[in-house]
């Protein structure tokens, strides 16, 4: 009797141990499932990132990609959306970066110097253009001036601390002149255009698309440009430093879109010109001229460009257009463009 009781008790204990083990396994399984579901929910519920891209009324691959919604397509793969920020070039761009209203943009070679001098937290992530004819010195169609030396005593419209300001001083130097030999009229691009068309200035130092617009639509003449002195006025793609640190994948995605857009533009030039003309309301001939003069690119910031920027910074300081010197290499980061170009290559 005792043996039977003991056997029954032993069987009961064994059964309880089995059930306990099963329960533990089931609980472990459920815990794993919950963890997986939780992880999935965390990924699914990750906040969508908004990328603030600066845009201007211009002819540029960035604008073409905007019009074709190619940025939106690419960023959607990264759970991100685009917010287009219409902001004029120069100081306004860097003010927007400083106040976290702008993450990515393209700007001129002089403004990146002034932005660095102002301690704006940004990085140069790629060269956007390599043209030598995109900035020049214009004359009205009825002007009798044929040589730079004839500018002595003339009124020249220009915006201070711009690529056009840089070119003007270099051209004057080539002619053996200084700023004291001419009358500089400090005007914004739109103000200068009115003065130029109205005949209140003798010449106008300006970049694209104003340059080509004046030539094509107003019959203006280019007295000289960067090609006259073998000088390039590049554009730079820039990024807000904190954004680059937090979203490096989106910076790479931005550059990938630009490179693919540039390739598409080269393969479909006529179609690109039509899209630009419709979007900017510019004469198609102006658009063609801008594309030819600017020489758009999506390439790393090479040592030669860094050197040229250093010379520009020194020039601006010498002419008292800025109040201190900077080392342009400190804001260059080619990590993103190198990765973007490699990914585009692998995507083919």
Q: What is the rounded average pLDDT of the residues 158-171? A: 92
User: Is residue 117 domain-shared with residue 246, that is, in the same domain?
Assistant: yes
CB 255 within 8 A of CB 340: yes
Q: Is residue 291 part of a domain?
A: yes
Number of domains in the chain: 2
**Residue 256 within a domain:** yes
pLDDT of residue 39: 43
Burial per residue of 112-125, b for 16 or more beta-carbon CB atoms within 10 angstroms, e otherwise = bbbbbbeebbbbbb
For 260-276, write each residue's pLDDT tens digit.
999 999 999 999 999 99
Q: Which residues constitute the domain of residue 224? A: 135-228
Residue 213 counted as domain residue: yes
pLDDT level of residue 43 (50, 70, 90 thresholds): very low
Location of structure tokens 């001939």: 285
Task: Output the CA–CA distances (angstroms, integers) from residue 55 to 60, 88, 92, 185, 258, in the order listed.
Answer: 10, 8, 12, 28, 13
CA dihedral (154, 155, 161, 167) in degrees, to 10, reads -40
242 and 318 both lie in a single domain: yes
Residue finishing a domain among 169, 198, 228: 228
Lowest mean pLDDT across 58-67, 121-130, 311-320: 311-320
Please tell me the distance from the alpha carbon of residue 252 to that of residue 256, in angstroms, as a whole number.
6
CA gap 181, 179 in Å, rounded:
5
Q: Could you give the maximum distance between any two Cα atoms of the chain, in Å?
A: 131
25 falls within a domain:
no
Tens digit of each residue's pLDDT (9 = 90 or more) over 269-306 = 999 999 999 988 999 999 999 999 999 999 999 999 99
pTM: 0.83
């Amino acid at each position: 009797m005792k043996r039977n009781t003991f056997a029954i008790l032993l069987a009961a204990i064994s059964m309880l141990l089995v059930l306990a083990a099963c329960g533990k396994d089931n609980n472990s399984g459920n815990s794993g499932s919950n963890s997986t579901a939780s992880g999935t929910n965390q990924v699914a519920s990750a906040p969508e990132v908004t990328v603030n891209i600066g845009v201007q009324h211009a002819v540029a691959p960035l604008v073409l990609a905007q019009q074709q919604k190619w940025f939106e397509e690419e960023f959607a793969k990264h759970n991100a959306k685009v917010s287009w920020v219409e902001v004029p070039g120069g100081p306004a761009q860097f003010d927007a970066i400083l106040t976290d209203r702008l993450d990515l943009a393209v700007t001129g070679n002089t403004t990146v110097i002034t932005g660095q001098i102002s301690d704006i937290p940004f990085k140069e992530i790629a060269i956007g253009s390599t043209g030598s004819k995109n900035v020049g010195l214009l004359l009205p169609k009825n002007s009798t001036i044929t040589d730079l030396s004839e500018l002595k005593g003339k009124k020249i419209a220009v915006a201070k601390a711009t690529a056009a300001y840089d070119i003007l001083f270099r051209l004057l130097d080539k002619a053996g002149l200084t700023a004291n030999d001419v009358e500089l009229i400090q005007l914004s691009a739109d103000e200068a255009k009115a003065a130029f068309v109205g005949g209140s200035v003798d010449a106008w130092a300006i970049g694209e698309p104003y340059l080509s617009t004046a030539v094509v639509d107003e019959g203006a003449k280019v007295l000289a440009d960067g090609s006259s002195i073998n000088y390039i006025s590049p554009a730079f793609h820039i990024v807000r430093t904190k954004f680059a640190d937090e979203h490096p994948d989106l910076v790479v995605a931005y550059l990938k879109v630009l490179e693919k857009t540039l390739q598409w533009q080269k393969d479909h030039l006529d179609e690109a010109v039509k899209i630009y003309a419709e979007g900017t309301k510019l004469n198609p001939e102006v658009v063609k001229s801008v594309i030819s003069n600017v020489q758009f690119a999506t390439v790393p910031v090479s040592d030669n460009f860094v050197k040229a920027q250093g010379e520009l910074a020194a020039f601006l300081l010498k002419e008292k257009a800025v109040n201190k010197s900077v080392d342009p290499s400190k804001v260059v980061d080619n990590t993103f463009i190198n990765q973007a170009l490699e990914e585009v290559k692998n995507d083919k």
